[in-house]
Amino acid sequence: MAVFTGAGVAIVTPFKANGDVNYEKFGELIEDQIAGGTDAIIVCGTTGESSTLSHEEHLEVIRYCIDKVKGRIPVVAGTGSNCTETAVYLSTEAEKYGADALLLVTPYYNKATQNGLYKHYKTVADSVKIPCLIYNVPSRTGCNVAPETVVRLCTDVENIVGVKEASGNIAQIVKLMSLADGKVDLYSGNDDQIVPLLALGAKGVISVSSNVAPRQTHDICAKFFAGDIAGSCAEQLRMISLCNALFSEVNPIPVKMALNLMGKEVGSLRMPLTDMEEANTAKLKKTMEEYGIL
């Protein structure tokens, strides 16, 4: 059984003015997402600024999220690292807290070989019993997990069950699913490719857009699974301008600005990320107004 089907939100981590994690606002975001129909919460991913959280903060954010959700929907904890030992540590702790599954980003900077990636993922997955998802995002990590490696891992390692594919390479994803033989649960990692990947057999999306449009993102998936392909496609196409605006600067700069424009008060970003440029902010605001969420 898939970790979840539908739209999972890659939730932001809100900060106070002094840079501390704002747990009160985080709790409000979690409740808003559940009320908005989000099918799962993915905590401490790229959008959650995991790269600038200390290990202690990283684990506390995961623990808080799991405790707040209270089993109402699945919580997938981002526990990947470019250090295998660190990924094992974060993963085993998240399992202790009650995470439903783990999202493991490809080791960044090291640029491991495919054999190295296989050993890394197998080592981390073998340290826990809960399901693990590979997170392939070569634009961030400088390293691509080949389709053959994904299938090998999902075949050889019982609790590696699928992949969040954010390469944007449809040809590669087609090849992956042609090799998968039903062994790989695919999730879109790009909000502008939800329907194309659902058509290839994806279980859903791990979404940035869900932070500001949870119901609409959920509906893209729900309509598709209900057989309303035209309705799903129409909602996907309607969302394209919003997707483009949310990625007009590097994620999560625009989505945090969008949430602040909506009055969610999620604060700023941790350096080296900086606030959104004024011209892009104006375009984002206009797009959100046109989309009907502002």
Q: Average pLDDT for residues 32-45, to the nearest whole number?
A: 98
Look at residue 3 and give its three-state secondary structure: coil
Q: Is residue 250 part of a domain?
A: no
Could you read off the pLDDT of 186-235 as tens digits, one per residue? 999 999 999 999 999 999 999 999 999 999 999 999 999 999 999 999 99
Count the neighbouring beta carbons within 10 Å of the beta carbon of residue 55.
Answer: 12
Query: Under 8 Å CB-to-CB from 187, ≥6 apart: which residues?
Result: 8, 133, 162, 163, 164, 165, 197, 202, 203, 204, 205, 206
Q: Is residue 109 part of a domain?
A: yes
Predicted confidence band at 157 (pLDDT cuts at 50, 70, 90)? very high
Instruction: Kindly name the residue from 68, 118, 121, 135 that is annotated as catalytic.
Output: 135
Q: Is residue 33 part of a domain?
A: yes
| Residue 135 among the catalytic residues | yes
pTM value is: 0.97
| pLDDT (0 to 100) of residue 278 | 97
Residue 1 in this model has a pLDDT that exceeds 90? no
Q: Is residue 93 part of a domain?
A: yes
Find the CATH number of the domain harbouring 77.
3.20.20.70
DSSP structure class, residue 277: P
* Token code pair at residue 218: 């959920």
Average pLDDT score over the chain: 98
Q: Is residue 29 part of a domain?
A: yes
> Exposure pattern of 15-39 as b/e (b: 16+ CB <10 Å)?
beeeeebbbebbebbbebbbebbbb
CA distance readout (Å), 223 to 23, 66, 190, 194, 242: 33, 28, 18, 12, 19
139 burial type by CB count under 10 A (0-12 exposed, 13-18 middle, 19+ buried)? exposed
CA distance readout (Å), 4 to 7, 29, 86, 218, 233: 8, 20, 26, 12, 21
Q: Is residue 262 part of a domain?
A: no
Q: Average pLDDT for residues 53-70, to the nearest whole number?
A: 98
| pLDDT (0 to 100) of residue 87 | 98
Predicted confidence band at 259 (pLDDT cuts at 50, 70, 90)? very high
Dist CA 32 CA 74 (whole Å):
15
Q: Is residue 266 part of a domain?
A: no
Q: Give the range of the structural domain holding residue 96, as residue numbers without chain letter.
A: 6-226
Q: Is residue 209 part of a domain?
A: yes
Do residues 96 and 128 touch, judged by C-beta distance below 8 A? Answer: no
User: What is the count of structural domains for the chain?
Assistant: 1
Instruction: Kindly name the residue from 164, 203, 223, 264 that is annotated as catalytic.
Output: 164
